[in-house]
Structure 1
């Protein structure tokens, strides 16, 4: 079994928009071929290789199944250094949007308003959906991985903020 990247491992086209059912089916086939139980009577070296392939298949499936991780993978494997630990630069419009969302969260928290939390949650879900559309265009249509990398950093904020919002909700 040879695979240069996760897309080729699963026999999928290298793109952001992905058929989740095709990914699921491909992962099941690969996982079945390298499952450690199939190598119960094999040599120690063969067992080790099977375990490595199983781990690779599971990691690939996890990364390609999640849209944010898939976008990060496509950018990074395409030569874009996302600098996620050191580069926090974002567009002024997105920075302003972050400030609005932070204020909305503060207001919802102060008011203990389930409706305000729900409205903010809806905005974040809508922003994620828009991010999916934007990244599909940037990666699959334009091939602009550099700009996609900037959007990935914005999406990482959305995910972090979404988790914070979920923790803060009084009904959770």
Structure 2
């Protein structure tokens, strides 16, 4: 059986369980597994075996999509450690963070209304720097002995920031002739 459907995503790809992973190793393991479980390899077999190959391929794809992005990887790590990040139910944020988000959104709106691509590019650059710093904090929170509840809050913050980044990207795209 090419894939054990009971393995966690890290084990599936032969990676250490953790926030920081070797992206090249993930990519290599994904391509290797994908070639092993691709449904075309099982086209000549019984319907039951074809269904199983689809389950394997689906599991490999889901694992790859989850682990390749830091935010979804963090969410998955929290889940593995029994922490509900409360992504759907817990939207409580610190007043300082909410104020900062309002300021960012106002700056984006002003730049968009002024059709100022340079200002939007600058906002996006600054936001990506901030995001990178927050990912560094998150790595520490998710390390052994880290504060998993704080990590859950950081994940929620990164989701807000991700939406803001998408808004800036959309505004820039709308300005392209």
TM-score range, shorter chain: over 0.9
2:115–2:175 contact (8 Å) kept in structure 1? no
Structure 1 segments (4+ residues) deviating >6 Å:
none
Q: What CA distance in whole angstroms lies between the structure 2 residues aligned with 1:25 and 1:164? A: 33
Q: 1:94 to 1:141 in 2, by over 3 A?
A: farther
In the TM superposition, what is the alpha-carbon distance from 1:129 to its structure 2 partner?
A: 0.8
The CA deviation string for residues 117-158 of structure 1, in whole angstroms up to 9 with x for no partner, is 112111211122112211111112543221111000000011
Of 21, 28, 32, the residue aligned with 2:31 is 28
Question: Residues 6-17 of structure 1 correspond to what in structure 2 (within 5 A)?
Answer: 6-17=9-20
Question: Residues 110-129 of structure 1 correspond to what in structure 2 (within 5 A)?
Answer: 110-129=113-132
Question: Residues 156-171 of structure 1 correspond to what in structure 2 (within 5 A)?
Answer: 156-169=159-172, 170-171=174-175
Instruction: Report the number of matched residues.
Output: 172
Pair 1:50 & 2:33 matched: no
Q: With structure 2 as the length reference, what TM-score do the two structures score?
A: 0.90
Q: What CA distance in whole angstroms lies between the structure 2 residues aligned with 1:126 and 1:141? A: 25
1:17–1:140 contact (8 Å) kept in structure 2? no
Q: Which moved more, 1:41-50 or 1:16-25?
A: 41-50
The match for 1:71 is 74
2:111–2:117 contact (8 Å) kept in structure 1? yes
The CA deviation string for residues 72-120 of structure 1, in whole angstroms up to 9 with x for no partner, is 1111222111221221112233222112202211221233222211121
Q: 1:109 to 1:49 in 2, by over 3 A?
A: same
Pair 1:135 & 2:138 matched: yes
In the TM superposition, what is the alpha-carbon distance from 1:164 to its structure 2 partner?
A: 1.2
RMSD value over aligned CA atoms? 1.5
In the TM superposition, what is the alpha-carbon distance from 1:34 to its structure 2 partner?
A: 1.0
